[in-house]
Amino acid sequence: MHTSFSIFFIIIGLLFGVWSRWKEFYPTLLFWMVANLFYSSLLDHFRVWEFIPVGIDKTFFRTHKIMCLRNNFLTYPFIIPVFLGRLPKLLSYKIGWIIFWALLFESLEFIAYLNKSITYHYGWSLLWSLLFNLVTFTVLTIHNWKPWIAWLLSFIFIIILFIIFQPPIPR
């Protein structure tokens, strides 16, 4: 299931990515990858969502960790040149673009949820995922403009999530 999403984003990236500006987007890609790896490492024992291998994923991407790594190193590099490369200049259009991408991710996650290839734990839900996606794409947009603001907002959002979900701190 998730492999088909990766293939979808690779095709979209190849067709619509603004690859001539990849060096400009590279720091934001690394920011997204580091944030995802940070979440995966810090909260490995307290996953609020978990990818479940279904279909072809059972053959090639057998665990949640491997699926996260695939997203980081294979899928995200094809999303960023489309998302940032085609980011509109006007603020109202930027907001629409962020909402579009958050809803696209939410739609794919809903399909995964119906297919039982993602599970939620500790109070997480599709609604939390939508909020998370809105914040993610907003912060990625800000990072491309002012990285230090994106880092600050990310830490604030992490603190808020820690207060709400109260995960145990790893020893």
Dump pLDDT digits (tens) for 45-62: 889 999 999 988 888 888
Instruction: Tell me the H-state helices in the chain.
Output: 2-16, 22-42, 57-60, 64-70, 76-83, 91-114, 126-145, 147-165
Residue matched to tokens 């790893």: 170
Query: Which regions of 49-113 does DSSP assign to beta strands (E)?
Result: 49-51
* CA-wise closest residue to 51 among 37, 69, 35: 69
25-34, 51-60, 154-163 — most confident range: 25-34
Q: How confident is the model at residue 170 (pLDDT cuts 50, 70, 90)?
A: low
Return phi, psi of residue 101, to 5°.
-70, -40
Average pLDDT value for residue range 123-137: 97
118 CB-contact burial (10 Å; exposed 0-12 / middle 13-18 / buried 19+): buried
Q: How confident is the model at residue 91 (pLDDT cuts 50, 70, 90)?
A: very high
Q: Which pLDDT score is estimated for 128?
A: 97
Dump pLDDT digits (tens) for 62-81: 899 999 999 999 999 999 99
**Taking the mean position of all CA atoms in its chain, how far away is CA 7?**
15
114 CB-contact burial (10 Å; exposed 0-12 / middle 13-18 / buried 19+): exposed
d(CA 112, CA 110): 5
Dump pLDDT digits (tens) for 19-28: 999 999 999 9
CA-derived radius of gyration, the chain: 16
CA distances from 81 to 40, 107, 112, 117, 152 (A): 24, 21, 24, 27, 24
d(CA 154, CA 140): 10
- Cβ proximity of 142 and 150 under 8 Å: yes
